[in-house]
Structure 1
Amino acid sequence: MITAEDKLEAIRREIAFRKRVYPRRVADGKMTQQLADRQIAIFEAIKDDMLVAVAAERLL
């Protein structure tokens, strides 16, 4: 079974990956800084949603 905590950890890894990779993509002209910031913000929002799910799962 894949738990909410498993999903949260995957999201955290993805955020860290994007924070490492996106600066190079911006510097290479493959994406704008605005897009990079938005994509990271989306995953940060997903992470916040998953924190709620993890808390709810722990109550079960």
Structure 2
Amino acid sequence: MVYKPKNENVFLVLLHYPVLGKDKKTPIITSFTPLDLHDIARPARTYEINTYYIVQPL
């Protein structure tokens, strides 16, 4: 028997873009932390979402 998630057509994205500086005009660099990954993994697992993406603009 193959496990099929309930929400197979639902996807989550953790996106760090755009992030602006204090002047609200200058883009600043951000990074992902292990806490960010856990924060998106928990709801994905709780709501049986099959796939999530992590997007970091270069």
Greater helix share, structure number? 1
Do Structure 1 and Structure 2 share a fold, with TM-score over 0.5?
Answer: no
Larger radius of gyration: 2
TM-score, scaled to structure 1? 0.35
Greater strand share, structure number? 2
TM-score, scaled to structure 2? 0.36
